[in-house]
Amino acid sequence: MGILFTRSCVLCGIPLDAECGCKAMLCAACAEEVRTRYRLHHPISIPDADGAAAALYYTGTVRKAMQQFKFQHKQHYADWFSAQILPILAEHLDDWHPDLITYMPIGFVHLHKRGYNQAELLAKPIAAAFGLPCRATLRKRAFTPKQSTRKDAAARQQNAARALLPLANTDIQNKSVVLIDDIITTGATASAAVKLLRDIGAARVYVLAAAFTPHK
Ligand SMILES: [Zn+2]
């Protein structure tokens, strides 16, 4: 059998040994680094969420890969990032009893320019792995100021709450909902999304993210 294409390590980009025939997405050195440096071993706190967790620290090569995933059309990195989130949901499945997987919306302009919502790409394989429905529930209001330009926590919270709206005809009444996001930074946007999902009827809302920005 000839080699049809070469896979590269998601984190450092070196070509992977195709001889092994496996579907590894990381080289051995990066796999080790994920275990020792990048894996997040504690829950994160999102105000108003019933539970929240992130798979990796948003730093080093994880940060670089995430940026490529979001901005440089490396959509297939969703396979690796979602695979990092999967075990967390598996661990909480009996406790959270999710009815629905949803995801953080991105603005129309971004979606149009990029062609995909990275959080949706993460959410779909996670939902599929557990046989759960995956649906959009929120949308982003056009022309809201960037979160990063808001100065303090209160301003970020207010801005985040204004930026999100529920989608019409979203029925999540009494459901346990898991919201998938790519990166949690301050948690203001995730918290606003949680509140909104609760306002439109969700019984419980959990947040799972691929990465979490370490706080200095
Ligand atoms: Zn590597």
Q: What confidence tens digit (pLDDT) does each residue in 170-183 have?
A: 899 999 999 999 99
CATH code, 190 = 3.40.50.2020
Structure tokens at 157: 């919270």
Query: Do 45 and 138 share a domain, yes or no?
Result: yes
Whether residues 21 and 74 share a domain: the answer is no
Two tokens, residue 62: 């994880």
| Structural domains in the chain (count) | 2
Residues 82 and 27 in one domain: no
What DSSP element (H or E) covers 191? helix 188-199
* Residue 169 sits in the same domain as residue 191: yes
How far, in Å, are 24, 83, 137 from residue 80 at the CA level? 9, 5, 24
Cα–ligand 1 centroid distance for 80 (angstroms): 13
Start-to-end Cα distance in the chain: 50
Q: What is the pLDDT of residues 118-147, one digit of tens each?
A: 999 999 999 999 999 999 999 998 866 676
The alpha carbon of 184 and the centre of ligand 1 are apart by a number of angstroms equal to 24
Q: What is the pTM of this model?
A: 0.92
Q: 75 near 108, Cβ under 8 Å? A: no
Do 60 and 123 belong to one domain?
Answer: yes
> Are 8 and 100 in a shared domain?
no
Mean pLDDT score across all residues of the chain: 91
Residue 148 has pLDDT above 90, yes or no: no
Distance from the alpha carbon of residue 185 to the mean position of ligand 1, in angstroms: 25
- Interhelix angle for 153-163 vs 188-199, to 10°? 50
Count the Cβ atoms, other than its own, within 10 Å of residue 188.
Answer: 23
Span from the CA of 71 to the centroid of ligand 1 (angstroms): 20
Q: 172 and 112: one domain? A: yes
Distance 6 CA to ligand 1 centre (A): 14
Cα-to-centroid distance, 63 and ligand 1 (Å): 13
CA of 30 to the centre of ligand 1 (A): 4
Please indicate, yes or no, whether residues 175 and 187 belong to a single structural domain of this protein.
Answer: yes
Alpha helix stretches (DSSP H) within 34-76: 60-71
Ligand 1 centroid–CA 91 distance in Å is 27
Whether residue 80 sits in one domain with residue 59: yes
In the reported structure, the alpha carbon of residue 207 is separated from the centroid of ligand 1 by a whole-number distance in angstroms of 28
pLDDT in tens, 56-114: 999 999 999 999 999 999 999 999 999 999 999 999 999 999 999 999 999 988 899 99
Domain residues for the domain of 119 are 39-212
Element (H, E) at 118: helix 118-129
Please tell me the distance between residue 105's alpha carbon and the centre of ligand 1 in angstroms: 30
Distance (angstroms) between ligand 1 centre and the Cα of 216 equals: 26
